[in-house]
Amino acid sequence: MITSRFSNSEPILNLKDLFYDEAVKEEFKAKIEQLPEKSKRSSLKLLEEIQTVLQRCTHLNEKQRLMYCESQRYFMKQYLREMNKQP
């Protein structure tokens, strides 16, 4: 007697890998390629926000201003590293 084994998920998983493997690889490649752009944009946005805080917030004391300047310097370095990595 021939019986079907629909409860066994292994053959279904094997077929899924055949059809979806390439699409998943391409999706991952696209996301990986977008990471440097996102990193650059986020560093630049943070730099702009920190600069705005430094310019507009007159109530900051010198220690707070120094902390903002140090963080601005850090994100500027990150941004420049990402820009220098471009081919």
Is 26 within the bounds of a domain?
yes
Is 50 within the bounds of a domain?
yes
Residues 53 and 68: beta-carbon distance below 8 Å:
yes
Range of the domain at 71: 10-85
Which pLDDT score is estimated for 5? Answer: 53
Percent helix, strand, coil in the chain, to 5, is 80, 0, 20
pLDDT band at 38 (very low <50, low <70, confident <90, very high): confident
Number of structural domains found in the chain: 1
Is 5 within the bounds of a domain?
no
Burial 7-18 (b: 16+ CB within 10 A, else e): eeeeeeeeeeee
Percent of the chain with pLDDT over 90: 16
Is 2 within the bounds of a domain?
no
Is 4 within the bounds of a domain?
no
Say how far residue 3 (Cα) sits from the centre of its chain.
49
Q: Tell me how crowded residue 34 is: count the other CB atoms within 10 A of its CB.
A: 10
